[in-house]
Chains A and B, each alone.
Chain A
Amino acid sequence: MAGLNDDAQWIVMMGFVVSFSFFFLAMILNQSTVVGQTTAESVLDFPKNDIRDVRSVIIQSTEVTGSTVDLKNDIIKIAQSRKGAVISYTVTPPTSSDPKTYISIHYNNGVTAYNESWTSP
């Protein structure tokens, strides 16, 4: 090492600094694309709209006049075949002493389970 010329240490050091900063910028860029995709994927995976839809149709079904036996059967069968979700719900209609309607809703598509006890306003 005797003949080693150690001039220009500053230039060497700045070279290191610049290359390390490139390295970290590249790392940030690398991660940023993954963030948007995983967020969108998890939003799509969660059956938000399915749950809202089925909840709303069940609540609506308490307000129709006439028989709702086949209507309930439709909801359960179609949800099973088209949405891959198992749905079960029971409606407790108002009585003379209690004017409110109570519904308990159970939704399960194998990944997400949702249970709700709904009371009419």
Chain B
Amino acid sequence: MVKDDGQLYTIEGVAAGMIMLFTAYLVLGATSVYTPGDTHISDMQIEQTGTDALRMMNTQVNGTSGTSPLHDIIYNNGASGFNGPEFNTLFLNYVNNRTGSETDDLHYSASVTYYDINNRTTESLPLTSNRNLTGGEHPVRVTEWVIVNKQFPGTNLVENRSVLVEVLLWRD
């Protein structure tokens, strides 16, 4: 004969158990572990920093008329390609400076994309980088349009062209 005393205690026990299980489920669901899928927040910040830096580089110094530093870097085509060291100094100065003596640790790889008129393709020329991409990084892409009066591969003319400076930016 089963005794049916204490039914209320049984119901209470079941209810309490369910509440505890559901609470544990919610707590475990609210994971605070930073997984690779959750990098959107820092991506957004790096993208903004990089875009701002490129925009500043593409603005005339002191607001005077004339050409911007970024324009000059692309325009001054030496034997070794674009004026990479100047880009490196200027860009890292903008993105890595922060309050205090410690600098930030952003790395980049920059290229210049132009349209090849003869072959009807979009091509990229390497600009400069301060670290090679190994494939393990999680870079974001920031871009800036530059108008430059220069000859690019695919045409013999020196004329007004617009090129896209593309920078892959990541933090180590």
Q: Which residues of A contact B (CB under 8 A)?
A: 1, 3-4, 12, 15, 19-20, 22-23, 26-27, 29-33, 36-37, 40-41, 43-44, 49-50, 53-54, 56-57, 60-61, 64, 66-68, 70-71, 73-75, 77-78, 81-83
Q: How far is the CB of B110 from chain A (nearest CB, A)?
A: 14
What are 8 residue pairs bridging A and B, where the CB atoms are less than 8 Å apart in the complex?
A4-B8, A19-B16, A30-B27, A33-B32, A41-B40, A57-B145, A61-B160, A70-B155
Residues of A within 8 A of B142 (CB): 49
Given known A-B contacts A20-B19, A68-B160, A74-B161, A82 and B30 have beta carbons under 8 A apart: no
Q: Is the interface of A mostly helix, strand, loop or mixed?
A: helix
How many B residues have CB within 8 A of the partner chain? 45
CB distance from A10 to the nearest CB of B (A): 14
B residues within 8 Å of A by Cβ? 5-9, 12, 16, 19-20, 22-23, 26-27, 29-32, 38, 40-41, 43-44, 47, 51, 113-115, 117, 122, 142-147, 149, 155, 157, 159-164, 166
- Whether B5 contacts A75 by the Cβ 8 Å rule is no
Q: Which residue of B lies closest to A57 (CB)?
A: B145
